[in-house]
Amino acid sequence: MPNWKEIDLQAKQWMKEAGEIIKSSLSRTLKIKTKSNPNDLVTEMDQAIEQFFIKNIKETYPGHRIIGEEGFGDKVTQLDGIVWLIDPIDGTVNFVHMQRNFAISIGIYEDGIGRIGLIYDVIRDELYHTIRGNGVFMNDLPLEQLDTVQVPEAIIGLNTTWVTKNTRINPAILGALVKDLRGTRSYGSAALEMASVAAGRLDGYITLRLAPWDFAAGKIMVEELGGYVTDLTGKSINLLGQNSVLVAKPGLYEEILKNYLNNGNW
Ligand code: 2AM
Ligand code: CA
């Protein structure tokens, strides 16, 4: 059996080192390019950090495979064996515009089952970490199991894009939910929004388009604490493709799915 404790310790050490590399880049002018559209940014740091992890993982764990956002990893079409899903900088727009509110996100899966989740808020020096079955921690602080909450008392992470005209969902659907919630917040980093649900600062998070490296770590954490992570029809998330994502505490999850998403028939 893989020694998850050892892999976790090693991965956390690389995350801290990567955090130092990112911090030392903040005083320099970085090369920034756009990818698919003007909002889709990539910097030389995204690429360098992904390569840093891949080099270390390949040297230490040659049998493990890697899915990385910037494409330096392996071509993975099946989730057999141990697979690392890496987002070297989640929240690149925040990284470029604000120099904060971004994270390194790593989920480690074995035969499709989440084993280790790591999200590092580099600027706050807050490392969220879990080994499946052993609880979730923020640095040394254990996070509590998630309590039930209902819509009128809930604050969820939601990008305002999804309540304007868009190609993925009728804005009226989430508009009705927004009206009934206590509030919404938009952090611009899926990993930090999911870590915030794990830490109890947000009660849920909804988005219509995420890639596996965006949610791989957060999913393990939220589920470890009794929360739910599915797509917006209530189906399990596909770890090899793009997904809509509904993250919520117990109670809130069922209420949103039934009363606002018509049990997935929207
Ligand atoms: P990124 O910064 O790593 O690209 C912002 O709303 C959140 O959505 C971030 O977590 C961001 O991750 C992610 N994101 C941005 N563009 C995306 C895309 N085209 N597909 C999936 N996720 C995306
Ligand atoms: Ca990224």
> For 62-99, how does the pLDDT look when each residue is reduced to its tens digit (9 = 90+)?
999 999 999 999 999 999 999 999 999 999 999 999 99
pLDDT of residue 170: 97
The DSSP string of 144-157 is PPPPP--GGG-EEE
pLDDT of residue 36: 83
Q: pLDDT of 91-145, one tens digit each?
A: 999 999 999 999 999 999 999 999 999 999 999 999 999 999 999 999 999 999 9
90 C-alpha to ligand 2 centroid (Å):
4
251 C-alpha to ligand 2 centroid (Å):
31
Per-residue confidence at 22, pLDDT binned at 50, 70, 90? very high
pLDDT of residue 27: 85
pLDDT of residue 80: 97
pLDDT of residue 71: 96
* Whole-angstrom distance, CA of residue 172 vs CA of residue 75: 39
The CB of 189 under 6 Å from ligand 1? The reply is yes
The CB of 212 under 6 Å from ligand 1? The reply is no
Q: pLDDT of 201-243, one tens digit each?
A: 999 999 999 999 999 999 999 999 999 999 999 999 999 999 9
Pocket probe mutation, ligand 1, options 210, 239, 244, max atoms within 8 Å of Cβ: 210
- The dihedrals phi and psi of 46, each to the nearest 5 degrees, come to -55, -45
Do 82 and 2 contact (CB within 8 A), yes or no? yes
Q: Regarding predicted confidence, which is higher, 38 or 13?
A: 13
Cross-strand pairs, 156: 184, 204
Least confident of 35-44, 171-180, 210-219, 242-251: 35-44
- Beta strands at 155-158 and 183-185: parallel, antiparallel or unpaired: parallel
Annotated binding-site residue? 203: no
Measured CA to CA in angstroms, residue 266 lies from 69, 98, 137, 174, 258 at distances of 30, 36, 36, 11, 11
- The mean per-residue pLDDT over the stretch 158-163 comes to 97
Report the share of the chain in percent with pLDDT over 90.
93
Break the chain down into helix, strand, coil percent, rounded to 5.
Answer: 35, 25, 35
Q: Residue 170 gets which letter from DSSP?
A: -
pLDDT of residue 201: 98
Is the pLDDT reported for residue 187 higher than 80?
yes
87 C-alpha to ligand 2 centroid (Å):
5
pLDDT of residue 40: 81
The CB of 188 under 6 Å from ligand 1? The reply is yes
Domains parsed from the chain with CATH numbers: 4-142 (3.30.540.10), 151-259 (3.40.190.80)
The CB of 214 under 6 Å from ligand 1? The reply is yes
CA-proximal residue: ligand 1, atom 2 (nearest): 91
**What's the one-letter identity of residue 132?**
R
CA-proximal residue: ligand 1, atom 22 (nearest): 210
Is 182 in a helix, a strand, or coil? coil
The CB of 211 under 6 Å from ligand 1? The reply is yes
The CB of 130 under 6 Å from ligand 1? The reply is no
Cross-strand pairs, 206: 158, 246
